[in-house]
Chains A and B, each alone.
Chain A
Amino acid sequence: MSATLQNLVNQPYKHGFVTSIESDVAPKGLNADTIRMISTKKKEPEWLLEFRLKSYEAWLKMEEPIWPNVHYPKIDFQAISYYSAPKQKPKLKSMDEVDPELLRTFEKLGVPLHERMALAGVAVDVIFDSVSVATTYKDKLAEVGIIFCSMSEAVLDHPELVQKYLGTVIPPSDNFYAALNSAVFTDGSFCYIPKGVKCPMDLSTYFRINTEESGQFERTLIVAEEGASVSYLEGCTAPAFSSNQLHAAVVELVALDNADIKYSTVQNWYAGDEKGVGGIYNFVTKRGLAKGVNSRISWTQVETGSAITWKYPSCVLLGDNSVGEFYSVAVTNHYQQADTGTKMIHVGKNTRSTIVSKGISAGHSNNSYRGLVKVAPGATGARNYSQCDSMLVGQNSGAHTFPYIQVANNSSQIEHEASTSKIGEDQLFYFAQRGIDAEAAVSMIINGFCKDVFQQLPMEFAVEATALLSFKLEGSVG
């Protein structure tokens, strides 16, 4: 790889600072008592403790998945702390009571918490290590009947809703990390849109890992009742530590008849340094259930961070005429590894799904797309369109696609397209010959490549994603 391309892809991480704040951190290790401790700290009802303990039992019998195309040393689950929370007053009456150090942290990250400064039109739930520290615009949303709060609050204030849906889309025994999450999850966001309500603003959660030895296991649940719709955004960052932190989240979405959920992620966890030291292990299970007729679940993700990403936001298309979408940009650099994609499970009649995946690999990184399109026997008239494009930057990176198609109904239509391209010296030379330096050229090529996905993002996120990609892949030349 030429010196120019080399420099372009070697940019430092901006969010790698640590907040010094007094935290309540549980001792390392995991057993049934740890789980009871978490449940007690959160004053949880008995059924939830049972849910956790059952999940723990299941987890003990499960094996870590080894099929993803990623490599890392075995994780010692006893060396992780399963609870870390900044010490502050238990119930906050207003933002003014939030620790100023935390406010400064989130301001620095571009997520101001004061509503007067907050992004107009976006409500934010902020998760710091294991707990939610603030949720903006809560009252305004309550006026139209929308519940938007931390999972801990939802468990206490709306137990019947949480109990009704928790674990119904992703059962605890679904996979190793989902089971672990179900046993030890500490917080996350809960969002309920009642019948017929179109959410008047974008909802968003911002996740921040701060403690070196803690894992983050958040749990998000979004329910859209009949005819409801919501657009949800998720962002994440972490300090630069030389050790690896585990992030094993579970996100469940439920869309009833004619409901519409759009879930967008810009994932920028710390990716490790240029030699591959440190970074987040991002082992996440996300699934949406398009339960009702004409319902729609749409995932858009821009994955730029993490040392390892293992993540397949999926759709179960149960309702007739339901729609599933997956739009993804995954960028890897240095020694990052990503194995990401989606599953589209067609069960209802005339269900439709679209998959657009764009993988960009630079440095010595390895980027895999893995996707499953499954058509059940009763899914008459199911249709899927998949497009998987890979782009290589330099000589030492890898791109792979693993598309799986299982069709049990011959009235379905499945289309798959794939391509691999390269940002080559000759393309950069062409730009240079027209006065455009390599930095601007790479940015333009990458944005062109990702256009179909960026178009799906809400405005502010699209701007952020573009900047993030430019930042990750460009920089001072020479």
Chain B
Amino acid sequence: MIYPDSKIVLEVRGLCATVNGTEILKGLDLTVRRGEVHAIMGPNGSGKSTFSKILAGHSAYEVTGGSVMFEGQNLFDLAPEERARAGVFLAFQYPIEIPGVINSQFLRLTYNTVQTHRGKEELDPLEFDDYVREKMKLLEMSPDFLERSVNEGFSGGEKKRNEILQMAMLDPRLAILDETDSGLDIDALRIVANGVNQLANKDNAIVLVTHYQRLLNYIVPDYVHVMEAGRIIKTGGKELALELESRGYDWVGVEHKAVARAVA
């Protein structure tokens, strides 16, 4: 929801980045305020996941220009784990499997680590068990998932729920959900979207990365951005998503180029 005079959570200015010498982000601008839900849409390969991972601090990507401020501080001054503790959360498009590490132990370690850094109490294994089971109900997850290795052998939809479970536990200031809807059937989509909606509040912000409009029927965005070739080329309200759904992405690019030519 848009609140007047709400504080800026994320301010991206002219962000450029390369991977293995190839330029992927080419001057990206984005401003996100507390309470808002933003959707970033765009064709495959336009750089949406790259942008998400750069915000989280993945070392494979080199930032070559521009700036990112998070809650008033330079995001690039923080190591990836510090960003997470400060409240940057990324729900991965492809959550990695960690064989041998039991999910409940992993979840408790991440919860306690983040709590400690926020000056809050840790939970012992019994307390944590109660806590996490409660959160799992929100996502209609079976407690069986606690005893399995992290993401190992999870279906695509189960992995995504495990991600949103962690979002629920870690209470981020900025949550970036990268294609959380892909691989979900309609029931799972409804459950996950419902979970995200319950987590959204006036103090946090959510960035939904998706290339389908489908998810946006359940989580209604305040802004929709269209990304192409490493840049945001158009921004609108929630109705832009519907237009993209019926007309595809091509017209946005054409329009953008026409505007660019007119300005030049």
Contacts and interface: CB of A to CB of B under 8 A. Distances in A.
B175 to A, nearest CB: 12
Interface in B131-176: 149, 166, 170
Interface string A4-19: 0000000000000000
Given A430-B92, A433-B90, A2 B59 contact: yes
A470 to B, nearest CB: 14
B195 to A, nearest CB: 18
Contacts of B60: 425
Given A2-B59, A440-B109, A444-B109, A432 B100 contact: no
Interface stretch (A22-30, A69-77, A270-278, A445-453): A445-453
Contacts of A426: 96
Contact of B81 (A427, A437, A451): A437
A445 B98 CA distance: 8
Interface in A34-49: none
Contacts of B102: 448
Contact of B98 (A432, A440, A448): A448
B49 interface: no
Contacts of B189: none
A65 interface: no
Interface in A404-430: 421, 424-427, 429-430
B240 to A, nearest CB: 29
A436 B100 contact: no
A425 B90 CA distance: 16
B101 A434 contact: no
A435 interface: yes
Contact of B170 (A425, A432, A435, A437): A435
Interface stretch (B110-118, B215-223, B249-257): B110-118
Interface string A98-113: 0000000000000000
Contacts of A421: 99
Contacts of B81: 431-433, 435-437
B85 interface: yes
A430 B96 CA distance: 7
B110 A445 contact: no
A448 B59 contact: no
A437 B90 CA distance: 16
B92 to A, nearest CB: 7
Interface residues of A, number: 21
A444 B105 contact: yes
Contacts of B16: none
Contacts of A431: 81, 110
Contacts of B80: 429, 432-433
B98 A427 contact: yes
Given A434-B170, A435-B85, A429 B58 contact: yes
Given A434-B166, A435-B110, A435-B170, A445 B95 contact: no
State the majority secondary structure of interface residues on A.
helix
Interface in B22-72: 56-60
B165 to A, nearest CB: 11
Given A435-B113, A444-B105, A430 B98 contact: yes
B151 to A, nearest CB: 9
Interface string B80-94: 110011000110100
B101 A432 contact: no
Contact of A435 (B84, B96, B100, B105): B84
Given A444-B106, A448-B149, A433 B101 contact: no
B45 to A, nearest CB: 20
Contacts of B110: 431, 434-436
Contacts of B59: 2, 425, 429
A449 B100 contact: yes
A433 B84 contact: yes
Given A2-B59, A432-B81, A440 B113 contact: yes
A430 B80 CA distance: 10
A448 B100 contact: yes
Interface of A: 2, 421, 424-427, 429-437, 440, 444-445, 448-449, 451
Given A421-B99, A445-B98, A445-B100, 6 more contacts: A429-B59, A430-B98, A432-B57, A433-B57, A433-B84, A434-B113
12 contacts: A425-B59, A425-B60, A427-B96, A431-B81, A432-B79, A432-B80, A433-B92, A435-B81, A435-B85, A436-B110, A444-B109, A449-B100
A-B interface, 5 closest residue pairs, ranked by CB to CB distance from nearest: A448-B100, A432-B80, A434-B110, A448-B101, A435-B84
